[in-house]
């Protein structure tokens, strides 16, 4: 059973209930991908999408009824894309191009600076 603090906020950082929300799932994707980028210097663009879809399927499996309805898996896939778009900010109307400010070595090759913790992984 989860303990509530005097402020009414749950004592756990993430719960199965919070991961079932868009905000919780988005936060989990951001934390997982940022941590893996920082620790292992591994940050391909597709990784956040895979994590988003896995979290979405896990949340659908945990929070929904035990019916084996095929639409549940389709909706979980769509929710995975929504989580990815929210975590990466691709659902924003305005934004800067990701490669802006990167000097070019020649017309075929780009020199990319070393990635830091807050360097985008998307």
What pairs with residue 110 in β-bridges?
104
What digits encode the pLDDT tens for the residues 84-121? 999 988 766 654 555 555 555 555 566 666 666 566 66
Positive or negative torsion for Cα 4, 6, 11, 13: positive
Reply yes or no on whether the pLDDT at 8 is more than 60.
no
Three-class secondary structure of residue 110 per DSSP = strand
Mean pLDDT for all residues in the chain: 76
Question: Nearest Cα to 56, choosing from 35, 34, 86, 36?
Answer: 86
Angle ∠(34,39,43) on CA atoms, nearest 5: 50
Three-class secondary structure of residue 79 per DSSP = helix
Going by pLDDT thresholds of 50, 70 and 90, the confidence category of residue 9 is low
Rounded to whole angstroms, how far apart are CA atoms 96 and 88?
13
Angle ∠(86,46,39) on CA atoms, nearest 5: 90
Rounded to whole angstroms, how far apart are CA atoms 69 and 98?
39
Q: What is the pTM of this model?
A: 0.65
Where are the domains positioned within the chain? 16-88
């Amino acid at each position: 059973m989860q303990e509530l603090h005097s402020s009414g906020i749950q004592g756990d950082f993430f719960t199965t209930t919070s991961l079932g929300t868009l905000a919780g799932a988005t936060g989990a994707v951001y934390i997982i991908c940022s941590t893996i980028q920082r620790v292992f210097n591994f940050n391909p663009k597709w990784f956040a999408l895979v994590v988003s879809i896995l979290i979405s399927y896990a949340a659908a499996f945990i929070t929904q009824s035990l019916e084996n309805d095929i639409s549940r898996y389709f909706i979980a896939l769509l929710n995975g894309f929504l989580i990815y778009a929210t975590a990466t900010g691709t659902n924003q109307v305005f934004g800067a191009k990701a490669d802006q400010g990167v000097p070019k070595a020649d017309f075929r090759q780009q020199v990319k600076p070393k990635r830091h913790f807050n360097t985008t992984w998307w």
